Structures are given as C-alpha cells and as structure tokens.
Structure 1
Amino acid sequence: MLGRVGLSLALALVGCGGGDEGKAEAEARVARVRIAEVVEVVPEVSSRHLVLLEAWRRAQLSPRYGGQVAELLVEEQAEVAAGEVLVRLVDADARGSLMSANASRQSSQKRLADLERQLADARELFDSGAGTRREVERLETEVETTRASIRQASGQIIQSRDRKSANEITAPFAGVVTVLDAELGEYASPGAPLVTLSELERLAVEVPLSQLEMVIHARGKLEFEVLIRGVREDAELEWIAREADEGTNTFPARLRIDNRSQRLRAGEAVEVLVRGDEGEPEIVVPPTAIRWEAGQAYVLRATRVGGGDEAEEGREQLERVDVTVHQDVGGGVAVEGPLVPGARVVSSGPATLVDGDEAIMIPHAPRAPGS
C-alpha cells in the first residue's frame, strides 16, 4: 500500500515538472518574426550622372585670310574684354589693296563727272540739230562703263577693309585665354586656330534625359541636384533639346552654374542627380514581406493579441492578405490589395508561417549613431 502511494506521489511530482517543461517547449515553438509598417510612397524616377564641368562658351579664333603674326597682345590664362585685340597679323597687302581701290574709285568718279557734262552738251546739240545720235550713244555707253568701274572699285574697298580688319583677331566676348597657339613671326594659315577663348564666370553641365524624364519635366516635376566636391551647388536649367540624340535616344539638358567667384574649374567631375515624381501614391511593403503560393503573392498582416504581459511580449496574430505586386518604389515593392498605410506585416520569419498562426515580434536593433 505504501509502495503504491509512493509511486503515485512520484508520478504526481513528475507530472508537475513535465507541465513546466511542456509550456516552455510550446513557447519555444512560437515563431519569431520581424515586423514592418506598410507605407504610402509616391513613385519617383531618379537617375545619377557623372559628367564634367564645361565653360559656358568657348571659341576657337582663327584668321580668315591668313598671314604672318606681327603682334601677340595676350598670354595664356589672361582675362580679356569683349572686342579686345588678341593677335595682329601683317596687313601690308590689305593696306596696298585698299589704297589702290581708293585711287581707282576717285579716278573713276572724276571721269564720270566729266563724261556726264559731255553727255549733257551732246544731248543739247542733238536736240538743236547740230549734233549726232551716235555721239550721244557713245557717251551714254562710257558713262555706264565708268559707273560700273566705280561699283567695282567700291567692292574692292569693302573687301580690302574687311581683309585689313580680319588681320586683327579680337575677342568676341569677355573671357579667359585658355590656349594660345601662335608664335611671333610665324605664318598663320586661314582657319588654323590661334587662340581659344573660354567664358568661365558661368559654367555649364549637360546631362542626358530619358523619355520618361521628359514627360515628368513637361508636368513641371523634374528636379536637378548638382554636387561638386561633395557640396551641393545651385544650378539653373538653361534649356532641354527638342530633339533626341540619334545614338542614345536621350535629350541633352544644359544646366547653368554661377562661377563669378572663380572657385570652380572647367573639367572638374560633377555628380548630377535627376529626380521627379512619376505618378500617384502607392502602397509599399518591404521586398522580404512578399510571399508566394502557386503564383499568388500575399503578405502576412500582424495584429497584436492579448493584453498586459502578453502584449508586452510582442505576440502577433498573423493573417494572410493576397496582393498584386507592382514596381519597385523607394527601396520597397508597390502592392495592390486590402492594405492601408500604417498596417503591420511580417518582413522576415519562417517560410512555414500560415494564416492564423501566432508569432512573437523581434524588436529591430537600434542603429548606431551616424549609420
């Protein structure tokens, strides 16, 4: 009898211990998951370009007629004003042609005045019957020939003056002489670059835009951010090409950057970020929240269950919500389904979780400062 009682007592003690272990084992079987909030995000088109700063304007100056370099009036890296003479060529031929043309025109003008007086006298004599028609016609022919000579001489004067002025290479705008490719006394061939002039008080950046970015620009929602040496610089959109490049099917856009302080240099690398809103707000979840079953995408919506200590432990009731997956947006995935911003979904956890399961939320580790 005592043995049977002792056995019963022992079994009871064992049963008590087994209950605690069973509870702990059941608790261990509850899945641990991480939870993320559903957010609403406006899809954004963005592109990043690494390009070079360019001079706002650059001109290669060369002689039109050619000639020997007589004077070099500037040096490389010199700042010059608009209209300033940079290089002067020998203009002896131009001066001689101009003097010859002026003398020819003056002589022809004097001869024309004399012929016109003779013609007037010949017409009076012919009208009175004392002169002949042949004489009148001869003088009329000589008058027209002389007038033609005057016109030719005037044309030669214009050409000679143009050639004389072309022997002076002047600055078409204010800027900096970035290249001087001329030597005193050497012959400069027609069309050969002698001076490269760059406007550096303003700089330019050109970036290619896609067709979608052009559509967003037409809606007034395209933005540009320019980073130079890691610092954001103010830039204004100057123009966007109306025709796409044949090779890339992109539309070049030109941005203007103020450089009156001269702290920026043409040729520096520039990072340009192009951003713009693409459409209406969309519901977005983390990519890891998307689960699949037979081609159907779904997420597990999490709802806190219980109260008091259980709520503090982070117990979650899981519910399957079928969704349609759209494009990637802002580091997440846009979905369509019965979800609202602020809802909570399982972002990571066992693949065996199903509708109706319970899980315990694992808090996200706090980020280190500066991360």
Structure 2
Amino acid sequence: MTRPTLLLTVLAAGAAACGGDSPTPHGAAAGPAGPVVAVTDSVIDAVYEAAGPAEPLQAATLATKLMATVTAVTVHEGDRVRAGQVLVRLDARDLAAKRQQVEASLAEAAALRANAEVTARRLRALYADSAAPKATLDAAETGLARAQAGEAAARAAAAELDATASYSELRAPFAGVVTQRLADAGAFATPGMPLVTVEDPSRLRIGATVPAALAHGLAPGRRVRARVEGMEVDAVIEGVAPQAGGLYLVNALVPNRDGRLPSRGAAVLHLPTGTRRALLVPEAALVQQGDLVGVWRRTAAGPALTWVRPGEARQGMVEVLSGVAAGDSVVVPAAGRGA
C-alpha cells in the first residue's frame, strides 16, 4: 500500500444526507465522460489543527518625543512606502532657535579649549627652563582639562539636539504598507502619541497554542502546512515557548511576497501527530450541486451520482469521510469538477 505525503484533517462540513445515490440525470444515462479511478484506502499524516491569527512579522506604530504641531502627513492608508521615506513632519522651529544657542556654546567651548592649550604649552616650556613655578603649571593644566571637558559637554549637547530634531520627521523603519493614519496636519502631537502605523505583509507569523504533548515533537525550522483564510500554504516553525496552563505557543512563519494572504486573517496550523488511514479520491472527481458534493460511481446498474462528505484536499487528492468504500470506481469528469 502506498504512503502518500498528504497532510489531511477531518472537516465538519458535509452534505446534509451523505452516502445516498442520486438517479442519473435525464440525458446523461452513461454518466460523464472521463477516466475511471478506484477509491484508495491509504495511510496519511494525522494532524492537529491549531488556530490563531496570521499577523505581519514586522509592524510599527510611529510616535514622536516632541510636543509640536503636525505640519504634514504625506501618506494615506494603503500606501506602499519604502524604508526611510518621510511619513510625518512636525513643526520644529523652536529646535532651530535652540540649535543656534548650542552652536554658539560649542564655538565658545572650542575657543576656550584652544586658548587653554596655548597657555599650557607656554607654561610647560617655562617650567622646563625653571622660569615658572610648578603651581602655575598645575593651574594651567587644570584649566586645559576643564576647557576640554567643557567642549566635550557642548558637543554632547549638540548631539542630543540632533537626536531630538530627528523626531521632527518620522520615517518608515522598513518597506511596507501604511495601515493606519492617526493624525492630520494641524493636530498637536505629544510624546508617545501614535501617528502612523506601517506593516510589512511580505511575511506573516501564525501564533497558536497547543498541548504540551504535541509541542515536544516540534522544533524551529520544521516545515508544516497551514491555512490562512481558506488558502493552503507552507509554513516554517519559528519557535515554541511554554505558556500558562501547561500549553505551548507555536509561532510559524509564512511567506507572502505576492500579498495574496490577508494580514491579521484567521489561520490554522496543521501540526503532525502521527498517521492514520483514509479513503482518497482525486479532487477533480468531486461534483458540486448547491451545498451537496458527490462523485459519479460506476456500478453494476450503471452510473450513479453518490453524495459524499469530503474532508480536506491537498496535492490534488481529497479525503472522503462517508459515501464510498475502498475499491469503488469513480469517474473523473473530463470537464473537471461539476455535474
């Protein structure tokens, strides 16, 4: 018996009445045309479905350290931005005035340090020729040290001002999409007030809690299957961490460079727990009629449309939970899924 590498779980959805044969529709006495395949009883991977949100791996809400008026917000929700792009500008005229004061203080400190160096060099020479007392030289050296410290303090104040002034322009920390614009021009911003939120949807993180017995078999780097808003994707386990109540948090990363997966959508991790047996048919053999799903069975009495309860599909195959038995012959319609 083959052992396909399928990751399938039982879904609760199904037809209201499964397993019954429907009469062959008028005009289709021979049933649909297409190859005939057998329902196979296979060994598949059993999985535990752990639900959790699929959130962007990188998300940042930008704020400022200043108390200032917002002069411009250059983006709107949904705009794509590049790393370093200016998103918000604040009125920083008071910082410009303070910068003039700091620059004047720095120039004064530099002049005092230069004068102290000249004085110290002159007295060192005089002391070497025994033309100046040791106390005078010591005073000059002390004055030089104080002047150097004063200049260093002035430079530190200038650097602090530069750092503060950088908050007058808020820039995107990474390339991504603006998801929230929380202020408009004219608003008064205060320290810590959120102004813009940026997210990078190119990679999502699914976080789900699982029992301890299941977590012990998981390790970072392991590949698992996941489902985000109904779309099947591959995921890589990022980490496993203990939580309260004997549970473990499993984080898994999902690539999303094409942006087809919605950020903060509902997600499910399919975590392997072993193997089990399942009846499999090609997904293309399923026939959809309203809310009912069936397959065309070849019987001794002729073709019969049999309603079934399908499980999850993967890699072109789907598990059938009821309605058929191993060895039954089903038709894969040439036109694909349909009656």
Give the alignment's TM-score, normalised by structure 2. 0.62
Q: Distance in 2 between matches of 1:269 and 1:40?
A: 30
Is 1:266 paired with 2:263? yes
Which amino acid is the alignment partner of residue 82 of structure 1? A
Given that 2:64 and 2:170 are in contact with CA atoms closer than 8 Å, whether structure 1 keeps it comes out as yes
The residue number in structure 1 matching 2:188 is: 187
**Mapping 1:2-151, distance limit 5 Å:** 46-151=47-152
Secondary structure of the 2:271 match is strand
CA gap of 1:134–1:175, structure 2 versus 1, over 3 A, is same
Q: Distance in 2 between matches of 1:91 and 1:145?
A: 33
Task: Pick the aligned partner of 1:253 from 250, 255, 280.
Answer: 250
What is the total number of aligned residue pairs between the two structures?
244
Secondary structure of the 2:215 match is helix
Q: Distance in 1 between matches of 2:54 and 2:219?
A: 26
Secondary structure of the 2:200 match is strand
TM-superposed deviation, 1:163: 0.8
CA gap of 1:176–1:230, structure 2 versus 1, over 3 A, is closer
Structure with greater proportional strand content: 2
Bigger mean CA offset, 72-81 vs 198-207: 198-207
CA gap of 1:103–1:267, structure 2 versus 1, over 3 A, is same
Considering Cα pairs closer than 8 Å and 6+ residues apart, tell me whether 1 or 2 has the greater RCO.
2
CA gap of 1:206–1:218, structure 2 versus 1, over 3 A, is closer
Secondary structure of the 1:216 match is coil
Q: Distance in 1 between matches of 2:49 and 2:112?
A: 75
Share of identical aligned residues, percent? 23
Which amino acid is the alignment partner of residue 269 of structure 1? A
TM-superposed deviation, 1:368: 11
Is 1:239 paired with 2:238? yes
CA offset digits 1:299-322 (Å, max 9, x no partner): xxxxxxxxxxxxxxxxxxxxxxxx
Q: Distance in 1 between matches of 2:206 and 2:80?
A: 22
List runs of 5+ in structure 1 lacking aligned partners: 1-38, 283-363
The residue number in structure 2 matching 1:357 is: none
CA gap of 1:114–1:218, structure 2 versus 1, over 3 A, is closer
CA gap of 1:86–1:157, structure 2 versus 1, over 3 A, is same
Given that 1:181 and 1:195 are in contact with CA atoms closer than 8 Å, whether structure 2 keeps it comes out as yes
Give the alignment's TM-score, normalised by structure 1. 0.58
Secondary structure of the 2:218 match is helix
Given that 2:46 and 2:272 are in contact with CA atoms closer than 8 Å, whether structure 1 keeps it comes out as yes
Given that 1:98 and 1:156 are in contact with CA atoms closer than 8 Å, whether structure 2 keeps it comes out as no
TM-superposed deviation, 1:178: 0.3
The residue number in structure 1 matching 2:320 is: none
Bigger mean CA offset, 161-170 vs 49-58: 49-58
CA gap of 1:125–1:75, structure 2 versus 1, over 3 A, is same
Given that 2:64 and 2:192 are in contact with CA atoms closer than 8 Å, whether structure 1 keeps it comes out as yes
Secondary structure of the 2:95 match is helix
Given that 1:223 and 1:276 are in contact with CA atoms closer than 8 Å, whether structure 2 keeps it comes out as no
The residue number in structure 2 matching 1:212 is: 213
Given that 1:82 and 1:174 are in contact with CA atoms closer than 8 Å, whether structure 2 keeps it comes out as yes
Secondary structure of the 1:256 match is strand
**Mapping 1:270-281, distance limit 5 Å:** 270-277=267-274
Q: Distance in 2 between matches of 1:209 and 1:215?
A: 10
Secondary structure of the 1:100 match is helix
Q: Distance in 2 between matches of 1:88 and 1:172?
A: 15
CA gap of 1:137–1:276, structure 2 versus 1, over 3 A, is same
* Bigger radius of gyration among the two: 1
Q: Distance in 2 between matches of 1:138 and 1:267?
A: 68
